[in-house]
Amino acid sequence: MSVAMMQPYLFPYLGYFQLLKAVDVFIFADDVNFIKGGFIHRNKILLQNEEYYIIVPCEKKSQNKLINEVRLSTKTKGYPDSILLTIKQAYAKAPFYTDVFPIIESIFHSDIDSLYRLAASSVESVSRYLELNVDFKYSSVSFNHTKGQEKSIRLINITKELGGHTYLNPIGGTKIYNKECFENQGIKLEFLVSEAITYPQFNGNFIPDLSIIDVMMFNSIEDVNKLLNKYRLII
């Protein structure tokens, strides 16, 4: 069994879903500190052939708060309709707009009032649309007893508790995690590297690393899954 744990991102990029597809259990790390410059409350779409940020309004967001302590500012004027209008303007002429937009709309029009639930819901809804088979868990719910442990030790202990043998992480984790630390505890540590990915967008140069929204707007479910398989694992 393979395991991965990531912060819940709002409609994350393709590589996030590659990691998700590669594991058996995916854990939303909702009890770690919020990062203002991250992608928990925002992401990039394609608007007029340029990248553009959609940003969810939050109440008093701070890096001193845990992700699951950050509330949505649901009373902000225009939310969420202004975000939905921007997405509609950006992709109304995309080939899979009629399939994808209702998914996005249903998430933003839900009664969710916490940021981590909105972000996680975006991941789970997209996963259902793409027919990905993965077991989702929340660190604050299933592994609250491991909170406060050193980061690597926590991941090792969670993987063991699940009966797993492998922990997967994006390639950036090579700067954070030590392979021998995991191996000494009987856990294999692997890193996921995405291959170069392109697909047809609107006229203009291809813009990479946008939200999964962009990928789904221009590709069928079958083609998105082909893109999700374009990665390799480094041991």
SS3 annotation, the chain? CEEEEECCCCCCEHHHHHHHHHCCEEEECCCCECCCCCCCCEEEEEECCEEEEEECCEECCCCCCEHHHCEECCCCCCCCHHHHHHHHHHHCCCCCHHHHHHHHHHHHCCCCCEHHHHHHHHHHHHHHHCCCCCEEEEHHHHCHHHCCCCHHHHHHHHHHHCCCCEEEEEHHHHHCCCHHHHHCCCCEEEEEEECCCCCCCCCCCCCCCCEHHHHHHHCCHHHHHHHHCCEEEEC
Structural domain that includes position 77: 2-234
Q: What is the CA radius of gyration of the chain?
A: 18
Q: Between β-strands 71-72 and 58-59, what pairing exists: parallel, antiparallel or unpaired?
A: antiparallel
Q: Collect the ranges in the chain with pLDDT lower than 70.
A: none
Compute the distance between CA of residue 119 and CA of residue 28 in angstroms, rounded to an integer.
10
User: Which two three-digit tokens encode residue 125?
Assistant: 């809804």
pLDDT at 60: 84
pLDDT at 182: 96
Tens-place pLDDT, residues 30-74: 999 999 889 999 999 999 999 999 999 999 888 889 999 999 998
pLDDT at 36: 85
pLDDT at 74: 85
Q: What is the pTM of this model?
A: 0.95
Query: How many residues comprise the chain?
Result: 235
Q: Between β-strands 188-194 and 71-72, what pairing exists: parallel, antiparallel or unpaired?
A: unpaired
pLDDT at 217: 98
pLDDT at 204: 76
What is the number of structural domains in the chain? Answer: 1
